[in-house]
Chain A
């Protein structure tokens, strides 16, 4: 344990005395304070908070992540190039502990930096709101729906012959994508309903319905009508906002105890048909927790993602030269961020040629392994006042903060044993 602490302390001293910590903190704070003045929100407290979370905290996180990942990628490789590493490795120290201690030190710096930014956010934005758990309609999975559609789709004479020759797995993937985006049309005067199953906290918490019409084209819909959920109801009349929250209030009808979970129904009172994607566009929001508690959970997830990237960068530095390791690490972060957009640009693999198919397969693999970095789910949830679930935070923390850095450090140890010092 003592050697581990000494190596971590050495790394912290290096970062502190080279003024890297202060430079990172200064840049992060400058970014946090500058973005609200440079970027303008829609003028509402919600919009300002979204801007703070998404751009200020998100930007500070990206800055911290890239700086510390570069530092991690060069940490072992620089010491090896300068021959200092051998003086540590000839001591009674396990090789993996050398990598683990450095990872711990860099994660500690990142966590402290992000904590300062989170405190700035908490004092700058309007945080007197409560965050909500998001409940989606209970539907069969898009994959299952795709499998149900498959036979019919292949028998359809309008399906192009080249599609019929394509592998089943590829067609299923495309149909799954289509199932996620399946639209439901609600005619004027029509009433439709969706099953949300048992909504946890439905009896005691305040509920709302959220309609979200945002898509790639930022399309907004005119929506007028009434939602009814058991003894609760809400009226919506909106033509301006892309995201509409409709509070549900008691409508005087009593619910019988022990009755099955109610369905959420909607009656379209508008003059045009309403198009929405049930899997994406409609949710019940259950008010749960304070913004501060949500921020703490989001913070823990962001620090865990940081630990994951730092551990990966450290592994690169253990096996590769300094410049190659840093370049590979930064490229991987960049690829993880853009891979989703690349796949969105080529949604239909059938239309692409062989080279494109290979590129897409590689991009999908990158996207798969870099999901935590690419999605940045905690920031997205925090900016839209959604609950960062405690269970999810615990899972991310256990995997990305504890397990992955430990395994990566063990691999670093194995690589250092093989690597010529």
Chain B
């Protein structure tokens, strides 16, 4: 299978105003996503998942290393044309209706009006939003907003879809719907990179998994193959969990 995305020894160090390094979010990361597979980046909060995604999207530049997206730099327009992205939160324009939101992103993808119109209808149907298409998205529930965001990511018919915590904040039914959708898209040949901190989500839909910890690869492989490593990793994390010391005034102690 040919490679869609390749990261070679990619690092990202954030600096303060005086350019003094503050946090090393990603540390010498190697990653490859092959055509047609569903690849999951797993890790706890602060493990570097979102930073990695932003570098892949060309929103931030890596401090070191190389990123190749469709054999091009992520900032290349042609690479972005073949990409779809669902962020961790929906970030929709609240004053636009669902249809206008999709029409806006169709315009950004330079789709002609006829193609855009038919694709918008299909996506509204697919995400069960046809009845609410003329309502401002600012009035939508979180689940509905998430579906609009997902439809926006798919409007340009991308070859490669990046889903940043796609089930974040969704109820079990909506989570299951998203997983089913991911499986359907994968079955149609779409390459998908998703991030999650839930092993269950990633395990259900992905072919391969990488666990990130402090910006480094802790384990990588197919779900069945590294299940032992995964359990060991999460058990070790549980054993290292933080113990919060409850402030005395909350329990009636001295202030």
Q: Is A90's CB within 8 Å of the partner chain B?
A: yes
| Size bracket of the B interface | 20 to 34
Within 8 A of B (CB), among A306-353: none
Q: Are B110 and A3 in contact (CB under 8 A)?
A: yes
Binds B, one of A39-47, A78-86, A168-176, A232-240: A78-86
Q: Taking the nearest CB of chain B, how far is it from the CB of A100, in angstroms? A: 14
Expressed in whole angstroms, the Cα–Cα distance for A17 and B110 within the complex equals 25
Taking CB atoms, residues of chain B closer than 8 Å to A9 are 104, 107
Q: Assuming the A-B contacts A91-B105, A92-B110, are A83 and B96 also in contact, with contact meaning beta carbons closer than 8 angstroms in the complex? A: no
Give complex CA distance A420, B156 in Å: 25
Given contacts A87-B87, A90-B85, is CB(A421)–CB(B107) below 8 Å?
Answer: no
Task: Give bound CA distance, A3 to B81, whole Å.
Answer: 12
Indicate whether A182 reaches chain B with its CB closer than 8 angstroms: no
Instruction: Report if A6-B60 is in contact (Cβ < 8 Å); known contacts: A14-B95, A92-B77, A92-B81.
Output: no
Instruction: List the B residue with the shortest CB-CB distance to A14.
Output: B95
In whole angstroms, what is the CA distance A265 to B108 when docked? 67
Q: When chains A and B are docked, how far (Å) is the Cα of A91 from the Cα of B102?
A: 13
Contacts of B109 in A (CB 8 A): 91-92
- Asked if B83 is an interface residue, CB under 8 A from chain A, the answer is yes
Instruction: State which of A2, A13, A84 has its C-beta within 8 Å of the C-beta of B107.
Output: A2
Q: Is the CB of B96 within 8 A of A13?
A: yes
B107 touches A87 (CB 8 A): no
Task: Verify A90–B91 contact, CB threshold 8 A.
Answer: no
Identify which of residues 79-111 in chain B touch chain A, using a CB-to-CB cut-off of 8 Å: 80-81, 83, 85, 87, 89, 91-93, 95-96, 100, 103-105, 107-111
With a cutoff of 8 Å between Cβ atoms, the chain A residues found around residue B83 in the complex are 90
B44 at the interface (CB under 8 A from A): no
Within 8 A of A (CB), among B50-80: 54, 57-60, 75, 77-78, 80
**In the bound complex, CA of A13 to CA of B138 (Å):** 14
Docked complex Cα distance between A6 and B93 (Å): 14
Q: How far is the CA of A401 from the CA of B111 in the complex (A)?
A: 30
A90 partner residues in chain B, CB cutoff 8 A = 57-59, 80, 83, 85
Taking the complex as formed, is B152 at the interface, i.e. its CB lies under 8 A from any CB of chain A? yes
Q: Is the CB of A17 within 8 A of B91?
A: no
Q: Please tell me if A27 contacts chain B, counting CB pairs below 8 Å.
A: no
With both chains docked as a complex, state the minimum distance between the C-beta of B251 and any C-beta of chain A, in angstroms: 38
A205 within 8 A of B: no
Given the complex, which residues of A lie within 8 Å of B110, measured CB to CB? 2-3, 92
Q: How far is the CA of A356 from the CA of B200 in the complex (A)?
A: 69
Inside 8 A of A14's CB, which chain B residues have their CB?
93, 95
**Could you tell me the distance in whole angstroms from the C-beta of B219 to the nearest C-beta in chain A?**
29
Partner-A contacts on B (CB < 8 A)? 14, 54, 57-60, 75, 77-78, 80-81, 83, 85, 87, 89, 91-93, 95-96, 100, 103-105, 107-111, 152, 156
**CB<8 Å pairs between A and B, sample of 21:** A2-B107, A2-B110, A6-B104, A9-B107, A10-B96, A10-B104, A13-B96, A14-B93, A18-B95, A82-B91, A83-B87, A87-B152, A90-B58, A90-B80, A90-B83, A90-B85, A92-B78, A92-B81, A92-B108, A92-B109, A420-B14
Q: State the 6 A-B residue pairs at the shortest beta-carbon distance, nearest first.
A: A6-B107, A91-B108, A421-B59, A92-B81, A17-B95, A92-B80
